[in-house]
Structure 1
Amino acid sequence: TSEATASILTGLHEGARTYGVPVVGGHTNMRSTHNSLSVAILGRARHLLTSFDARPGEVLIAAIDLRGRWHDPHPFWDASSALCHTEGAARLREDLDLLPGIAEDGLSRAAKDISMAGLLGTALMLAECSGIGMTITLDDIPRPDDAPMERWLSAFPSYGYLLTARPEDARAIIARFQARGITAAIIGQCDMTRRLDIIWDGEKETFWDLARTPLMGFVS
């Protein structure tokens, strides 16, 4: 409908203004069961944080902005929209600038934004692309006080990242996020098992064995 189209275009305009990026193209689909938008992002980087460079022996860090709210009834944790119309837009841009700074200073090589797959699904994709395994302690994951673990693990936070790093660099990475009010913590370890194991309340279980069941097909 024209109302839905106007809403999408308004959101694109406000997002572009908030984050200081131009919109030069895109594709909408208003004829499917759900209105959708296709986007490609172009940019230039001096150093990359990729999904393919996590290594055994590194720690896994989660950095999530907990200063938000649920976008009910959806599994979205919104820590950004309330700032788009205020001076908070500058804060949002500066929060994003943490990631290229970490890469350029050599503190991390591998990272992935926590997406619709949730935290565990995102960690699984990162592990598979890098050909490694991980053990994650659920109680160490940054989480709002009122968020049940099951719901939080499937949440799509507007600002949430997983990064791997050498143990000696972890404190510096965490400090950068904390200095901007973003909660960050070591939540796991990278290993050579090609499994994603989880620990909760002292119990350890295998969430997924990539060596037996590839997720995306990157495991040889």
Structure 2
Amino acid sequence: MRVEIQNLSKEYKEKQVLQDISFNIESGTVCGLLGVNGAGKSTLMKILFGLISADSGKICFDGQQKASNQIGALIEAPAIYMNLSAFDNLKTKALLFGISDKKIHETLEVIGLAETGKKRAGKFSLGMKQRLGIGMAILTEPHFLILDEPTNGLDPDGIAELLNLIAKLKAQGVTVLISSHQLHEVSKVADQIVILNQGRICYNHANNQEDDIEQLFFKIVHGGM
């Protein structure tokens, strides 16, 4: 799914959170959205997912302004039931969309939780909970996946598992937008880097794996560019 964001603006309580945001994400690519806290990343992602409305501008998904269940998202903490197994968590959503148990098992394989059996999600590691949250987001086979700070609180192994999962989804043709404070780690999977600063885009380029993304980020955000 190709995503086009055109002249998007949003104001909260007389504070301009997003100011004339415009950029595209090509189909089947991973876009890393970077910025300090308060830069507007979460607001942008919530608008893309339809949780809140922009004041102006528009978004097109493959040329259309509506994408319904073709979008999946993990925004803030995963919405999972701690007293249920991974399978039963996915089942609660599957019932709403008429999704088969076979598809649930396939999703558990993709997110690496197929062997957890009846173990309750409350007993999962943080990385496992994050992967289950992504499983909830991809169960409907979205063409566009939004991940807001999915690496928060993860240890290096958990981050590696998450990035491997993102790479796997990309290989399946899913378009991914991911925000994270793990700049170096995001640069490993991102095809495109967009940096927000004070509600404006100050950097939008293809990701050159040879670039030091952390040095670039701090130069832009703190040193100007």
Task: State the TM-score, normalized to the length of structure 2.
Answer: 0.25
Higher gyration radius (CA): 1
Per residue, is there more helix in 1 or in 2? Answer: 2
Task: State the TM-score, normalized to the length of structure 1.
Answer: 0.25
